[in-house]
Structure 1
Amino acid sequence: MPILTISRQMASYGDEIAQVIAKKTGWELLTRDIALKRFFMEKTSKNTYHLLQNSARSFLTLSESGLSYRNELEKELLALTSSQSAILVGFGSQVIFADHPEAVHLRIIAPEAVRVRRVADLFHLTPEDAATIVTTADKKHRRFVSTVFSADLTDPDWYDLVLNTADLSVETCTATILTLLDQINTKIRMQCQTAGQHQEQPDRPGVIEHQTAQPLFKNKSEEAFARILDMYQIDWVYGPRTFPIEWDAEGNVTLAFSPDFYLPRFNTYLELTTMSQKYVTRKNKKAKKLQELYPGIHVRIVYRKNFQSLLERFKSSDEP
């Protein structure tokens, strides 16, 4: 199930962003306090629960099960997210789910001066008192992750996206995150679809990979041609590969040819053109050079007006 972890600095709007995303997605929101109440309040003594609330080192001590409380927390969170999506705010969740294939990890930050001003305005404090609160909160956040997970929460490698809210509103950040989640969920669905098709059609890996990736065509002609290929039930791969055809004295590629389509059933590359004769001649020269350099590679230049007749010939040649 998709999971969102959010690491945030105090007064960076991380909590507000998490709440809005939870409301819009319907996913359960878990903070450190909520997780402690849910997983440990009924299982531990008042003294142990108090220690878990206030001491990072207490998570390294052993529970009655023989596991450390850190491992107990990990086990409970993994069990929870195996059946539902969740938004996990803080408590080292980016480390716990670092290798989870469906987890998206965010870091919400803002400059210290901005956060101090926000805290001062919110709690009606002097700038000095607000600065002390912000500094203390930052130290506690870093210490918890460092002590419990031996990790540096400020390391950007833990995160897929870092948002600085100095000039970004909660609404802007939320929209950005929701777009990211939608794109990742689409990618995951495509991967699942691809895996299923690989099992059903193991002889068509290249076709499956490209057809399930929703290719972004460069122009309307390519999109129209792809629809015609589908109509004729001809397998195709879009933008299959690039062939270097000229190099400079240092071996750098100076000219390459990237055919638009590959038809695996016919082992043929197709380059579409609706250009003037000058550009068509240039394409023909590149195609000829490609075939000289890569024996066995078949390339055809196709005019839009010839789409239909060409495919009819391909289709008829494939029929018994």
Structure 2
Amino acid sequence: MFKHKKKTAASAAVTNKRPLSVSLHYYRGFYMMFLPVLIFAVVFHYLPMLGIRYSFFSYKGIKDPVFVGLANFEKMMKMPGFWSAFSNTIFLSVIKLLLNTFMAVALSLMLNELKCLKFKKFAQTVVYLPHFMSWVVTASVFTLILSPTNAGLVNSILIKLGILEEGIYFLGDKNWWQPMFFSINIWKDTGWATIIFMATLSGINPEQYEAASIDGAGRWNSLRYITMPALYNTIITVLILNLAKIMNLFESVFVLQNDAVVQKADVLQTYIYTQTFNSGALPDYGYTTAVGLASSLVGCLLVLICNRASYKVRGRGIV
């Protein structure tokens, strides 16, 4: 055993002394396998970063961009639509993250309490299924369900129960859009998020529950002193990892918003899309690039903060 360790250390030392050209030739097979990934990363991730330069130009056409320096950023700071989209992005993303995480933990705990294995697997499958629906299909389904007409299931039930006198256009009302958005996100994503927490729960030693039962602990105390402490680290890790992605909110908002609720539903990504393709005037690609760059910088800052928080919680970074 010790001879093998000495031999491995010796071979590693010899490898470190090789010239670079010899090492490249020796490991050429590994580098050839890595080459397609490198090309993909350069073409689709690094070359597009050169487009950042457009944020310093007034670029309203294909030809003749005009250098304007920081004028696009100054314009961005003065635009009320930008600040409304920025605040909506933070609010919708953070609340969605907290609600989805809470519901995923609660659902995981309930599924974990099921004793019938077949029913447990069936329940897991049912709650996972919405995740595999595209947001376009999801938006279409809930637009019908929440419709204020006779076809709207929710309004029909509420009217028949006497709770409402007339239908409410839930997805077209500024007071109702955000609660509906959170509810739809919970329905779609909570089941899939339970996978991580179910994996953590399955790793808890059953002997701990047996010992607690012998000591007279009931189900509530077992949940409080055994299950939840085992989940805390996973919950914090999930929150930290997802917090870094809160600036990327787009698809779920884009397919559910409309002009009636744009004040409450517009986020940075949809704001960029509207200013570029649906503003009614010649798009200024320089301005929208500046907005995208600002969003990316905020996202980068969040990643650094999350990485630091991960070091504090888990002892290692998120990457």
- The structure where strand makes up a greater share of residues is 1
Please tell me whether Structure 1 or Structure 2 has the larger radius of gyration of its CA atoms. 1
Q: TM-score, normalised by structure 2?
A: 0.22
Which structure's residues are more often helix, by fraction? Answer: 2
